[in-house]
Amino acid sequence: MPAEVITGKAFVLGDDVDTDQIIPAEYLSYNPAIPDERRYFGMHALSGVPAAESGLPDGGQRFVEDGAFESPYRIIIGGRNFGCGSSREHAPLALAEAGARVVVAEFYARIFFRNCVNGGYLLPCECTGRLVDVIRTGDECEVDAASGRLTHMTRGATHDLQPLGDVQPIIDAGGIFDYAKQAKMF
């Protein structure tokens, strides 16, 4: 996925969102190589997050509504240590299948970050401040990874993002295998 400008509603989570919350183990029986099964990863994305941590005052908002395969949220805002837990490569796949395009977090568990980049699933942007304290679920945001800026359109504020650095060419190519092909590594 090339670093593009992504606009949409934000879904806000807290710290230490682990891969079991992103895609619970009971949904790992689906085969991501079969398109009819792959979409079930999106249906169950973030279904392991406790309702009280979903970002809305009533605590009842789900990332993907019951019976749907796609979420209305394109941007995920996380706190510290996003994607911790097991090295489940299905976690960024599940978010992408649900329609998310970018995760903006304070910092990531290393394996989740690498799985986002290697699979070309999501843009893993790091923020320079604590966005989970200023952005609310449902707020409209715009992420411009190339310029390193998140615009909080609901409140008219901008926030700096860390540069993507050395992973930028891999992201632009669409993942590690496409990058290797383009670079004629095999």
Q: Which of 6-20, 40-54, 77-91, 142-156 has the lowest mean pLDDT?
A: 40-54
Domain 5-182 in CATH 3.20.19.10: yes
Please state, in angstroms and rounded to a whole number, the distance separating the CA atoms of residues 70 and 34.
17
The answer, yes or no, to whether residue 2 has pLDDT greater than 60, is: no
Interval 37-52 mean pLDDT: 90
pLDDT 10s digits, 66-102: 999 999 999 999 999 999 998 788 999 999 999 999 9
| Integer angstrom CA distances of residue 27 from 73, 99, 162 | 21, 18, 33
Please state, in angstroms and rounded to a whole number, the distance separating the CA atoms of residues 46 and 91.
9
Interval 15-22 mean pLDDT: 96
The answer, yes or no, to whether residue 57 has pLDDT greater than 90, is: no
Going across the sheet that includes 102-105, the strands are: 123-126, 102-105, 73-77, 5-12, 140-144, 149-152, 157-160
| Integer angstrom CA distances of residue 35 from 39, 44, 67, 99 | 7, 15, 17, 15
Q: Model's pTM, two decimal places?
A: 0.92
Cβ-based neighbours of 6, under 8 Å, separated by 6 or more: 74, 75, 101, 102, 123, 142, 143, 145
